[in-house]
Amino acid sequence: MGDPADAAHIREVGVIGAGQMGNGIAHVLALAGIEVPLYDAKPEALTRALETIGRNVDRQVAKGLVSAEAREAALRRIRPAAGLADFSRCDAVIEAATEKEDIKRAIFAGLQPHLREDCLLATNTSSLSVTRLAAATDRPARFIGMHFFNPVPVMKLVEIIRGIATDDATYRTVAGLAARLGKETALAEDFPGFMANRILMPMINEAVYTLYEGVGTIEAIDTTMKLGCNHPMGPLELADFIGLDTCLSIMQVLLDGLSDTKYRPCPLLVKYVEAGWLGRKTGRGFYDYSVTPPRPTR
């Protein structure tokens, strides 16, 4: 667990990417009293993010977790950024863009000219090499992985990944920032998939193989893991929640980085992604979300 005192000087943290991870990160930062410029290349994504944050904070107010006054103060702290130049005052910036290395590299290249020299950079990557991303920036010593989990306001863990060049001060500050957000931290070495996805994604991939080979139906596989292993969500339901494109991308990172065929993505997972059936975010994955309750698609 980090010491919040190590991050007491952090007053403004920019977030790049306003999707489900980015808006959740902005949400928890703002509730912790931190100013948050939020940027997305798609203006409509920013509009949706602010609406989502408002609904999610309202849910916390209804549950008695957040006061109405804290809600209003938090929402005022989040401001849509017109461009990367709006991050010039930030003490740290967290990148939460899609899990594609070329996109992340392009973001850092465009961002660097606008940052203070002492600004920290964090990536929310769930599988990519932090060392390699850091090396593409002008501040590898002040670059770190800060992997939040979805939904960010609910999930308690932040996986912290030091690149080979990350200095101790950056690690202490980021661990302290996570503590200010009420999160527990786990330090992972910079290997493909880190810890959580190195364990989770092969399980999801194996569940897809189990379906592909006809061992069980979608419902049977999910029921087995929920009732037999006490998982809160079945692996195929969880894959839909994460996004099948994200699951496939992480499996490919594991296969490429570790060169072990046990990480080969299931052909059925590939087919679903090729079909655009990416899970909840597209309304269809292993389940069809156009009906209630969702119906298995196979």
Q: Which residues are catalytic?
A: 126, 147, 159, 197
- State how far the Cα of 198 lies from the Cα of 274, in Å rounded to an integer: 24
Q: Which residues contact 22 (CB under 8 A, 6 or more apart)?
A: 15, 16, 38, 40, 49, 96, 97, 124
CA distance to 47, 50, 73, 85, 102, per residue, from 107 (Å) = 20, 21, 29, 12, 9
Could you give phi then psi for residue 95, rounded to 5 degrees? -90, 125
Could you give the CA distance from residue 4 to residue 1 in angstroms, rounded to a whole number?
A: 9
Q: Give the C-alpha separation, 141 to 137, whole Å.
A: 10
Exposure on the CB side of residue 27, measured as CA atoms within 13 A: 28
Question: In whole angstroms, what is the distance from residue 54 CA to residue 83 CA?
Answer: 22
Contact (CB, 8 A) for 113 and 93 = no
